[in-house]
Chains A and B, each alone.
Chain A
């Protein structure tokens, strides 16, 4: 699975490649995915086969690692509807396939979940999850736990009503489905729901915290990584921003958007919920990764989840109760002053409240947040969390948005700008107990891809200029780097090949929300293009071009 394990730590025990020999890393083979769009996916290795899925049209390729040059074994084309590209807010990306029990599972942009025979590439089942005419698409990587495939819907910029759904892994039939807005019954909130904070207690808050019927197009899409704690039999996942972005159109806390749910895997019943950003003001989806780790906190063993939010805070939350243990800044923030730990609410700075028609300048962080989807890694060896993130602020103006199904429902003009220091991205190593940064690497552009940590004390990540790097996990020193053909926004994978050797794989191909100026051929004269990201990314066109290539590295 792209998250490496149920806990989502993205930590590999492989140590053959280490701080000493990594400088000798060289290309083993490459493979063109044939699609020049943002490659946010993660290569997946099972036995002697490497699986990789392209952005729309979402072709799944299987490469034979037992043969020299890893020739193509088969490819599977789900023939996704071309029209789905129009309703994908932020490039036509896919965040990866996943494997369980002889099957590969992945989602298509036109909102189907597919199961394919991992040996033969034959389609086993295909289930329709969403309707593109309602603005629903799918980009996330499914999580398979026990016999269930967990999938969620994208479309937070199109006024969808977000949900997560569990499918039977053998048949593709729906087992349960839980919405992010609406009456308790639809949200699967029942007697076992025990949120930690008072503001989350009460009846039908998914209706009551909205203007009448606004919850029906209230967003709360589910497109991040899902994690699973087998001991509690709970899954954890975030909900996206409320729709529209313009907060003036939706007074109230807008439950259950921009928060995290813990649900029973078998029934889908909610156990607890915590809202990162009540009444979200700036498109801060709550979907960033929730990494499960066990810590000694003030002398007590605690089961926690770790979550770097778009709002610039790194949260440590007790995953059995939903209590916030700490929330520290990892990004420059001027729009709020952190969390009041007694109520769990973020303290918003009044002059950064986006009143309709007024241009707010220099709001930090920006709409994509201190950090977007790009998943962090936790090293069990160094005990540090490695966070790929942005350094961005923005100008924002709220405008009235009309809801027209299948068209965007945003109501804001945004222009992103570089944050303090002028660089736009960082890779930071973070000490969870101390609540502070240990080292950081500045990057010219946002670090829009994921991170892998290994027992060889290495951190692998790529930047949007196209460099793929290996970094010393303890010092942040760059020990090796290789320039790939296009910018990197993908998730690295490391695996042991059939020959017993360790390999490292990454997709190169710029795009995603940050890189759509290149992948979508956008016009840099309009700073508000790509929902305001183009303003900051104008130079990307001078640095890289589109691509779609898998690179695999090994020691000589």
Chain B
């Protein structure tokens, strides 16, 4: 008996492992609540050691899930993000497909950006978009620069082919240093 169970168990483990990218959370936490991530915007912190951060793990859950990323892609045009950021190359807003981030490129930073808005013209979506959809949007934004697993990222568009598909995007992890915000160019 044991001899049969062991391979079956391994098989089951494999299947379950593969399932993580496909798991669906139908309606996450009550939509009015917000996750509290402790995240820093700079690598600098006084004294010794890096800045104090604490991630709840929610970010990884969304980034590793193809359903969430696909939903994020749909919401990205639904909420007109593409009007300002195009398909990642940027417009009135900065590009989202490159390795340069003004306000941090971790998924937790991106969630903050979408919720709170940013001073040079990024609208604040708090209260306008449910929290779980903000996470989905952020997970999709991460995929635009190749920062989610290839088997999670969306494939080629059925519509006009604007740019290399997200799942063919070379990984471009955020570069510490980032870019100069437009405000840095402003004379006083």
Chain A interface residues (CB < 8 Å from chain B): 34-37, 57, 59, 77, 82-90, 92, 157, 357, 359, 395, 397, 399, 401-402, 404, 406-410, 413, 415, 516, 520-531, 534
Given A86-B92, A408-B84, A413–B162 Cβ distance below 8 Å?
yes
Specify the main secondary structure of chain A where it touches its partner: loop
Q: Does B11 contact A (CB under 8 A)?
A: no
Q: Does B38 contact A (CB under 8 A)?
A: no
Given A34-B187, A85-B120, A526–B163 Cβ distance below 8 Å?
yes
Q: Among B84, B89, B185, which residue has its beta carbon within 8 angstroms of that of A86? A: B84
Q: Among A57, A83, A87, A407, which residue has its beta carbon within 8 angstroms of that of B119? A: A83
Q: Among A77, A407, A527, A534, which residue has its beta carbon within 8 angstroms of that of B83? A: A407
Please name all residues of chain A whose beta carbon is closer than 8 Å to the beta carbon of B183 when the two chains form the complex.
82
Given A413-B160, A516-B91, A529–B179 Cβ distance below 8 Å?
no
| 24 contacting pairs across A/B (C-beta < 8 A) | A83-B119, A85-B92, A86-B121, A86-B122, A88-B121, A89-B92, A357-B159, A402-B80, A404-B79, A407-B80, A413-B162, A415-B162, A521-B90, A521-B95, A523-B89, A526-B88, A526-B97, A527-B89, A528-B86, A528-B87, A528-B160, A529-B88, A529-B89, A531-B86
Whether B97 and A86, one on each chain, are in contact in the complex, defined by CB atoms closer than 8 angstroms, is no
Please name all residues of chain A whose beta carbon is closer than 8 Å to the beta carbon of B93 when the two chains form the complex.
86
Whether A397 and B89, one on each chain, are in contact in the complex, defined by CB atoms closer than 8 angstroms, is no
Given A82-B120, A86-B121, A521–B94 Cβ distance below 8 Å?
yes
Closest 5 CB pairs of A and B: A86-B121, A408-B83, A526-B89, A529-B89, A523-B95
A126 to B93, CA, bound (A): 28
* Most chain B CB neighbours (cut-off 10 Å) among A59, A395, A404, A531: A404
Task: Identify the closest chain B residue to A157 (Cβ).
Answer: B83
Please name all residues of chain B whose beta carbon is closer than 8 Å to the beta carbon of A524 when the two chains form the complex.
89
Task: Identify the closest chain A residue to B159 (Cβ).
Answer: A397
Whether B160 and A522, one on each chain, are in contact in the complex, defined by CB atoms closer than 8 angstroms, is no
Given A35-B186, A413-B159, A528-B162, A83–B121 Cβ distance below 8 Å?
yes
> Whole-angstrom distance from the CB of B159 to the nearest CB of chain A?
6
* Most chain B CB neighbours (cut-off 10 Å) among A84, A88, A407, A530: A407
> Whole-angstrom distance from the CB of B171 to the nearest CB of chain A?
14
Please name all residues of chain B whose beta carbon is closer than 8 Å to the beta carbon of A34 when the two chains form the complex.
187
Q: Does B37 contact A (CB under 8 A)?
A: no
Specify the main secondary structure of chain B where it touches its partner: loop
Task: Identify the closest chain B residue to A158 (Cβ).
Answer: B83
Whether B121 and A527, one on each chain, are in contact in the complex, defined by CB atoms closer than 8 angstroms, is no
A524 to B95, CA, bound (A): 10
A404 to B75, CA, bound (A): 13
Q: Among A36, A84, A407, A523, which residue has its beta carbon within 8 angstroms of that of B97? A: A523
A115 to B12, CA, bound (A): 75
Whether B162 and A399, one on each chain, are in contact in the complex, defined by CB atoms closer than 8 angstroms, is no
Given A89-B92, A399-B77, A407–B84 Cβ distance below 8 Å?
yes
Whether B94 and A531, one on each chain, are in contact in the complex, defined by CB atoms closer than 8 angstroms, is no
Please name all residues of chain B whose beta carbon is closer than 8 Å to the beta carbon of A516 when the two chains form the complex.
91
A34 to B93, CA, bound (A): 21
Whether B159 and A525, one on each chain, are in contact in the complex, defined by CB atoms closer than 8 angstroms, is no
A524 to B86, CA, bound (A): 11
Please name all residues of chain B whose beta carbon is closer than 8 Å to the beta carbon of A409 when the two chains form the complex.
80, 83
Whether A525 and B89, one on each chain, are in contact in the complex, defined by CB atoms closer than 8 angstroms, is yes
A24 to B117, CA, bound (A): 53
Whether B160 and A397, one on each chain, are in contact in the complex, defined by CB atoms closer than 8 angstroms, is yes
Please name all residues of chain B whose beta carbon is closer than 8 Å to the beta carbon of A395 when the two chains form the complex.
160
Given A85-B182, A86-B122, A59–B89 Cβ distance below 8 Å?
no
Please name all residues of chain A whose beta carbon is closer than 8 Å to the beta carbon of B78 when the two chains form the complex.
402
Given A408-B84, A409-B83, A531-B91, A525–B163 Cβ distance below 8 Å?
yes
Whether A526 and B120, one on each chain, are in contact in the complex, defined by CB atoms closer than 8 angstroms, is no
Q: Does B123 contact A (CB under 8 A)?
A: yes
A527 to B117, CA, bound (A): 26
A276 to B10, CA, bound (A): 70
Whether A530 and B121, one on each chain, are in contact in the complex, defined by CB atoms closer than 8 angstroms, is no
Whether A520 and B94, one on each chain, are in contact in the complex, defined by CB atoms closer than 8 angstroms, is yes
> Whole-angstrom distance from the CB of A116 to the nearest CB of chain B?
17
A528 to B164, CA, bound (A): 12
A130 to B121, CA, bound (A): 16
> Whole-angstrom distance from the CB of A504 to the nearest CB of chain B?
26
> Whole-angstrom distance from the CB of B17 to the nearest CB of chain A?
33
Given contacts A83-B117, A529-B89, A530-B90, 4 further A-B contacts (CB under 8 A): A359-B160, A399-B159, A402-B78, A413-B160
Q: Among B80, B90, B100, B187, which residue has its beta carbon within 8 angstroms of that of A520? A: B90
Please name all residues of chain A whose beta carbon is closer than 8 Å to the beta carbon of B79 when the two chains form the complex.
402, 404, 407
Please name all residues of chain A whose beta carbon is closer than 8 Å to the beta carbon of B120 when the two chains form the complex.
82-83, 85-86
A85 to B183, CA, bound (A): 10
Given A357-B159, A408-B80, A534-B89, A529–B187 Cβ distance below 8 Å?
no
Whether A523 and B90, one on each chain, are in contact in the complex, defined by CB atoms closer than 8 angstroms, is yes
Whether A525 and B122, one on each chain, are in contact in the complex, defined by CB atoms closer than 8 angstroms, is no
Task: Identify the closest chain A residue to B145 (Cβ).
Answer: A523
> Whole-angstrom distance from the CB of A346 to the nearest CB of chain B?
25
Please name all residues of chain A whose beta carbon is closer than 8 Å to the beta carbon of B90 when the two chains form the complex.
520-523, 526, 529-530
